[in-house]
Amino acid sequence: MTNISKFLNTDQIEKLKQPPEHKGRNIVWSSETIQRCLAIRSVVGRSGYDFLRKMNYPLPPYRSLCRRIQNAPFTPGIQHDVLQWLRLKMSNAKESERLCVLLIDEMQLKNRVEFDRGLRQLIEYVSPETLPT
């Protein structure tokens, strides 16, 4: 059991102990497990993740991963977590597969302070370049 706990979290071990007909009911997946599974999902893709689940690896359902990140607060600025996931996903990719696009959804054109309803907080000067002089 100690060897298993080196690569599985407690909630995943509990999932392994459940009879197959339970299908993960009553499991509260830890944030650590969710983060680890999001990393796995980003590396192997949706079909690879589904394949691992069909092989009875103790992973949360794909929908559980989506629910956990759908309300994640994406504050203005550089998304370091997303860049970390991208680095992990592209670590074994060929040079030609590493071509990408930087997409800016919104940007601040004027210096001002606004209230972000989604984050429920004041958003000030987003980057050092927009600080008042």
Taking only the tens place, the pLDDT of each residue in 11-54 is: 998 888 887 676 656 789 998 999 899 889 988 989 999 999 99
Express as a percent the part of the chain with pLDDT over 70. 74
User: What is the band of 62 on the pLDDT scale with cuts at 50, 70, 90?
Assistant: very high
| pLDDT beyond 70 at 102 | no
First to last CA, the chain: 60
The pTM for the full model equals 0.59
| Residue scoring higher pLDDT (128 or 22) | 22
Higher local confidence (pLDDT), 60 or 93: 60
- Which stretch, 44-48, 70-74, 100-104, 108-112, has highest mean pLDDT? 44-48
Spell out the domain ranges in the chain: 1-72, 78-133
